[in-house]
């Protein structure tokens, strides 16, 4: 069997899965966007009227701008922070292994456990963070 055919046979299941998981739902959403639907009633073809309604809505444009700003700010801030931390850790700073462990620890702890830990750390009477805040003279949480 030629190598190209073997590669195609090995990739075929993944391609089929992508078509089933991404392609078919995308086509269904496109079909739905061209129809007016209501539960219990037959869909009515409206063409591009749904798109015209959305594009004429000022809330859509406001939400689009907000989404664009938030996504870009988050991406660039996270990229800058990641590059800064990578540069810091690559420079051989003291306690490098400890800092890396502290940064990576939340990825190893389940979310529920992390929430419980933060709850106790922020506890006004005995919490570690509340105690540190009181130690430096700031008002309690």
> What string of H, E and C letters represents the secondary structure of 13-66?
HHHHHHHHHHHHHHHHHHHHHCEECCCCCCCEECCCHHHHHHHHCHHHHHHHHH
Say yes or no to pLDDT of 140 above 80. Answer: no
Start-to-end C-alpha separation, the chain: 70
Exposed e or buried b per residue across 111-133, where buried means at least 16 C-beta atoms within 10 angstroms of its C-beta: eeeeeeeeeeeeeeeebeebeeb
CB 124, CB 132: distance < 8 Å: no
**Mean pLDDT computed over 89-114:** 87
Q: What is the pLDDT of residue 21?
A: 96
pLDDT at 92: 84
Residue-range domain boundaries for the chain: 1-54, 57-108, 109-141
Under the banding of pLDDT at 50, 70 and 90, the label for residue 112 is: confident
1 — pLDDT class (breaks 50, 70, 90): confident
* pLDDT above 80 (res 94): yes
Would you say residue 122 has pLDDT above 80? yes
**Res 76 pLDDT > 80:** yes
Region 118-127: mean pLDDT is: 88
For the chain, the average pLDDT equals 92
């Amino acid at each position: 069997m030629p190598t190209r055919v073997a590669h195609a046979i090995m990739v075929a299941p993944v391609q089929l899965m992508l078509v089933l998981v991404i392609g078919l739902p995308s086509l269904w959403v496109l079909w739905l966007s061209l129809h007016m639907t209501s539960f219990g009633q037959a869909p009515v073809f409206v063409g591009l009227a749904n798109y015209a309604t959305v594009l004429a809505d000022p809330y859509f444009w406001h939400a689009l701008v907000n989404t664009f700003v938030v996504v870009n700010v988050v991406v660039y801030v996270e990229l800058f922070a990641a590059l800064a931390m990578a540069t810091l850790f690559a420079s051989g700073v003291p306690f490098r292994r400890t800092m890396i462990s502290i940064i990576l620890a939340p990825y190893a702890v389940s979310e529920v456990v992390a929430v419980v830990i933060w709850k106790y750390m922020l506890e006004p009477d005995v919490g570690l963070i509340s105690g540190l805040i009181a130690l430096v003279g700031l008002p309690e949480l």
